[in-house]
Protein backbone atom coordinates (compact mmCIF):
# COMPACT_ATOMS: atom_id res chain seq x y z
CA UNK A 1 0.00 0.00 0.00
CA UNK A 2 1.47 3.34 -1.07
CA UNK A 3 1.22 6.18 1.43
CA UNK A 4 1.66 9.58 -0.15
CA UNK A 5 0.59 13.07 0.88
CA UNK A 6 -3.00 13.94 -0.02
CA UNK A 7 -1.81 17.17 -1.62
CA UNK A 8 1.55 17.97 -3.14
CA UNK A 9 3.90 19.76 -0.73
CA UNK A 10 5.04 23.13 -2.02
CA UNK A 11 6.88 26.04 -0.48
CA UNK A 12 4.66 28.00 1.90
CA UNK A 13 5.28 31.75 1.40
CA UNK A 14 3.60 32.48 4.72
CA UNK A 15 5.92 30.08 6.57
CA UNK A 16 8.25 32.69 8.07
CA UNK A 17 5.25 34.71 9.27
CA UNK A 18 3.75 31.62 10.90
CA UNK A 19 7.02 30.82 12.65
CA UNK A 20 7.41 34.36 14.04
CA UNK A 21 3.80 34.47 15.18
CA UNK A 22 4.02 31.02 16.77
CA UNK A 23 7.20 31.83 18.64
CA UNK A 24 5.78 35.12 19.95
CA UNK A 25 2.59 33.45 21.10
CA UNK A 26 4.59 30.66 22.73
CA UNK A 27 6.65 33.21 24.66
CA UNK A 28 3.48 34.94 25.90
CA UNK A 29 2.03 31.62 27.05
CA UNK A 30 5.33 30.55 28.57
CA UNK A 31 5.45 33.74 30.65
CA UNK A 32 1.85 33.18 31.79
CA UNK A 33 2.72 29.61 32.79
CA UNK A 34 6.00 30.72 34.42
CA UNK A 35 3.99 33.06 36.66
CA UNK A 36 1.86 30.08 37.71
CA UNK A 37 4.98 28.07 38.57
CA UNK A 38 6.58 31.02 40.36
CA UNK A 39 3.51 31.55 42.54
CA UNK A 40 3.54 27.84 43.40
CA UNK A 41 7.23 27.97 44.32
CA UNK A 42 7.31 31.23 46.26
CA UNK A 43 3.83 31.41 47.78
CA UNK A 44 2.38 27.89 47.80
CA UNK A 45 -0.22 28.69 50.46
CA UNK A 46 -1.65 31.49 48.31
CA UNK A 47 -2.85 28.87 45.83
CA UNK A 48 -5.48 27.87 48.38
CA UNK A 49 -6.96 31.38 48.43
CA UNK A 50 -10.60 31.42 47.38
CA UNK A 51 -10.98 33.67 44.33
CA UNK A 52 -14.68 33.43 43.39
CA UNK A 53 -17.58 30.97 43.47
CA UNK A 54 -15.70 28.91 46.04
CA UNK A 55 -12.84 28.15 43.62
CA UNK A 56 -9.27 28.55 44.81
CA UNK A 57 -6.48 30.26 42.90
CA UNK A 58 -4.90 27.04 41.63
CA UNK A 59 -8.20 25.94 40.06
CA UNK A 60 -8.93 29.33 38.50
CA UNK A 61 -5.37 29.69 37.20
CA UNK A 62 -5.41 26.13 35.84
CA UNK A 63 -8.61 26.76 33.90
CA UNK A 64 -7.19 30.09 32.74
CA UNK A 65 -4.12 28.28 31.36
CA UNK A 66 -6.36 25.98 29.33
CA UNK A 67 -8.63 28.77 28.11
CA UNK A 68 -5.71 31.01 27.15
CA UNK A 69 -4.16 28.15 25.15
CA UNK A 70 -7.42 27.66 23.25
CA UNK A 71 -7.79 31.39 22.60
CA UNK A 72 -4.20 31.60 21.38
CA UNK A 73 -4.86 28.68 19.02
CA UNK A 74 -7.87 30.47 17.54
CA UNK A 75 -5.91 33.71 17.18
CA UNK A 76 -3.02 31.86 15.52
CA UNK A 77 -5.40 30.13 13.11
CA UNK A 78 -7.13 33.42 12.24
CA UNK A 79 -3.92 35.30 11.45
CA UNK A 80 -2.35 32.39 9.56
CA UNK A 81 -5.45 31.95 7.38
CA UNK A 82 -5.47 35.68 6.72
CA UNK A 83 -1.81 35.64 5.65
CA UNK A 84 -2.34 32.54 3.48
CA UNK A 85 -5.30 34.22 1.77
CA UNK A 86 -3.18 37.31 1.16
CA UNK A 87 -0.47 35.29 -0.57
CA UNK A 88 -3.05 33.26 -2.51
CA UNK A 89 -4.70 36.46 -3.80
CA UNK A 90 -1.30 37.88 -4.64
CA UNK A 91 -0.38 34.71 -6.50
CA UNK A 92 -3.70 34.69 -8.37
CA UNK A 93 -3.34 38.33 -9.40
CA UNK A 94 0.21 37.74 -10.65
CA UNK A 95 -0.96 34.69 -12.60
CA UNK A 96 -3.69 36.68 -14.37
CA UNK A 97 -1.43 39.60 -15.28
pLDDT tens sequence across 23-32: 999 999 999 9
Could you give the CA distance from residue 57 to residue 36 in angstroms, rounded to a whole number?
Answer: 10
Distance CA 97, CA 18 (A): 28
Model-level pTM? 0.76
Extended strands (E) in 2-78? 50-52, 55-56
State pLDDT tens for residues 60-73: 999 999 999 999 99
Per-residue DSSP letter, 97: -
> How far apart (Å, rounded) are the C-alpha atoms in residues 3 and 13?
26
User: Mean pLDDT over residues 30-42, rounded?
Assistant: 94
Mean pLDDT for 42-58 is 89
pLDDT band of 16, cuts 50, 70, 90: confident
Amino acid sequence: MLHEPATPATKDPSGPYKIKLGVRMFIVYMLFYACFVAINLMFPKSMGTIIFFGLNLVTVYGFALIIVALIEALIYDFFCRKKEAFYKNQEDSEGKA
